[in-house]
Amino acid sequence: MGAPLPAPAASRLFLSGNDAVARAVWEAGCKVAAAYPGTPSTEILEELAHYPDLYTEWSVNEKVSLEVALGASMMGARAFCAMKHVGLNVASDALMTMTVTGTEGGLVIAVADDVGMSSSQNEQDSRYWGRFAHLPVLEPADAQEAYAMTKAAFELSERHRCPVIVRMTTRICHVKGRVEVGERMAVEPTGFTKDPRRWVMVPGNAKPRLPLMFEREAALAVEAEVSALNPLADGSDLTVGFVASGPAFMHVREAFPDAPVLKLGLSCPLPLHRIRALAARVRHLVVVEETEPLVETELKAAGVACHGKDILPRLGELAPDVLRPAIARLLGGEPAVVAHVPQQQVFPRPPTMCVACPHLGVYYTLAQMRNVIISGDIGCYTLGAGHPWNALDTCISMGASMGMALGMDKGRGAADAGKKVVAVIGDSTFLHMGMQGLLDITYNRGNVTILLLDNRTVGMTGGQDNPGTGRDIHGEEAPRVDFAKLCEALGVKRERIRPVDPYQLPVLFKALREETRIDEPSVIITDRPCVLIDDYRPTQPYQVVEERCTGCGNCVDVGCPAIHVTRRATEVKASGKEVELSFVRIETAACTGCGLCVQPCAPEAIVHAEALRPAHVMHKH
């Protein structure tokens, strides 16, 4: 992807919300930007890395990215970091202290909530972090506002000397629109001022700063009442008035164009006086918010009568087809019934791994093992929980596979005494939050076998680099972590660290069988690149010789999407047992020649496609 050219002032670009945030960060004179990839926020830093005149990095996790940004802010530079909603959980330790220290250069945190859980393990409302940390929260409703509010966030941060959260959602992040953009402004860092009473957060220094945090919050509350970020879209129909923010505001305007709507662009702290004024004008006040009843609860606590989650769902997007029937029931005088998001009928397409994915062999092998508990993690390899492998027993959060595996080992009773515990984790996830778990396993003498799946990229979010790839965010050469040496440094014995080619199924199976029999920590490191990155080298594709295929279905169990079942049949064995047969073909246009399907094929019915070509055709090539 080529670098975007800085556009002249007041030009118009077609940008997604993520692109718009990146553009605004650059124009605001930001000097340092850091992030860890996570859908739907990933593209912000990817796009920002193409712009000149600022430093960008993929950090090893979200906490580090926020600490990098704070360090730059302490130097008086404008700084930025981005993450998805669960990433802010990781970064919260740093967040909850920097709200006490405050900031110098403007510090903006873009957090992308995955409303509807299109690619996340939970649906989380990051607006709560604004309340918890006593920080302002801005909520754009489209790409233009994402751009404008990000620039405003830097100014707000410097005005109140605190971090500012820009809460995005999937719909804002990925939907494109026309955006009026400008030029980059020059903002010189003001320099670091030594002040241990502010920057060294021991209790004696932190306590005197707490009143300053509350004073700041009070000043923000006054600003929220008059801020242009909280406009009232007036309307002639005063039957129902709405309070909304983000994409929910757009849905309300579409569904009820004649109703007055107070749009919360600066949603924390709330402009209570403006909301009371709107409530006094309308018959019913309805709070439309995705996903938690946060504003509704605050309004009711302040004595403002309103409806919210008593008529609207607490999950998913609040589209017009959800809003209209809910308001109709409210006005019809019927008992409030919580609306349910209608299920859209689409062709079923269960998620699966790519053709020739190096994780296929791992899960095929794990599926053959018996008496084993498999602790999983977050990444492409989470798909091992699905068909046909069904080879994952747990998956909670990034890095959790390690600590959970140790807990399973230490917590087992007589019913599980003979079972083996295997933890599966990817390279980027291991560096993100798994290293500490491995150290805990070795320190506490856990009996766990770790499968460290090194595919040389952050695969699930689109192939970003990390310290294990040997490249930085710009694709330039960088130091590459030696996973074997790292695991040894974390306490695993050298002889218990085994690099394995995941395409060699017998070798992989042998390694797993041997290491799970050892009563101490061991690590098996797979070493094939993701098939979607430049490091991967496809080879000659395979094809099925139909007359040799016996329908055993062993190749189907590998789970490669290039293998298609063409016909199913049943056969009764001499023992009287009925066996299902699956006759297959291989989509040679998709096959990359990894050879995984060849190894379990008993009748040797899978051969290189070249071997089946007529001699005169082969001669021409």
> Tens digit of pLDDT for each residue in 392-438?
999 998 889 999 999 999 999 898 888 999 999 999 999 999 999 99
Pick the closest to residue 126 from 90, 100, 99 (CA basis): 90
User: How many angstroms separate the CA atoms of 100 and 93, rounded?
Assistant: 12
Average pLDDT estimate for 20-31: 97
Complete domains list, the chain, with CATH: 11-226 (3.40.50.970), 232-331 (3.40.50.920), 359-526 (3.40.50.970), 542-620 (3.30.70)
Compute the residue count for the chain.
621
Q: DSSP letters along 23-58, please?
A: HHHHHTT--EEEE---TTTTHHHHHHTTSSSSEEEE
User: How many angstroms separate the CA atoms of 166 and 186, rounded?
Assistant: 22
Kindly report, residue by residue over 330-347, the tens digit of the pLDDT: 998 654 455 555 556 666
User: How many angstroms separate the CA atoms of 156 and 146, rounded?
Assistant: 15
pLDDT grade for 575, boundaries at 50, 70 and 90: confident
Query: Which residues does 63 contact at the CB level (< 8 Å), separation at least 6?
Result: 90, 91, 93, 94
User: How many angstroms separate the CA atoms of 424 and 398, rounded?
Assistant: 11
pLDDT grade for 221, boundaries at 50, 70 and 90: very high
pLDDT on residue 619 = 41
Q: Where are the beta strands (DSSP E) in 256-376?
A: 261-263, 266-268, 284-288, 372-375
Q: DSSP letters along 133-201, please?
A: HT--EE--SSHHHHHHHHHHHHHHHHHHTS-EEEEEEHHHHH-EEEEEE--PPP---------HHHHS-
User: How many angstroms separate the CA atoms of 509 and 158, rounded?
Assistant: 58
Average pLDDT estimate for 122-140: 94
% of the chain residues with pLDDT over 70:
94
Kindly report, residue by residue over 526-540, the tens digit of the pLDDT: 999 999 999 999 999
Span of 109-113, 195-199, 304-308, 341-345 with lowest mean pLDDT: 341-345
Measured CA to CA in angstroms, residue 182 lies from 5, 7, 11, 110, 516 at distances of 12, 7, 7, 20, 60
Kindly report, residue by residue over 365-397, the tens digit of the pLDDT: 999 999 999 999 999 999 999 999 999 999 998
pLDDT on residue 242 = 97
User: How many angstroms separate the CA atoms of 102 and 16, rounded?
Assistant: 31
pLDDT on residue 573 = 78
Query: According to the 3-state scheme, what is the secondary structure of 63-114?
Result: HHHHHHHHHHHHCCCCEEEEEEHHHHHHHHHHHHHHHHHCCCCCEEEEEEEC
Q: Are 274 and 252 in contact (CB under 8 A)?
A: no
Average pLDDT estimate for 275-301: 95
User: How many angstroms separate the CA atoms of 113 and 194, rounded?
Assistant: 36
Residues of the binding site for [4Fe-4S] cluster: 549, 552, 555, 560, 591, 594, 597, 601
Residues of the binding site: 549, 552, 555, 560, 591, 594, 597, 601
User: How many angstroms separate the CA atoms of 537 and 456, rounded?
Assistant: 13
Q: Are 453 and 401 in contact (CB under 8 A)?
A: no
Q: Is the pLDDT of residue 10 over 80?
A: no
Structure tokens at 340: 């349910």
Span of 95-104, 113-122, 455-464, 493-502 with lowest mean pLDDT: 113-122
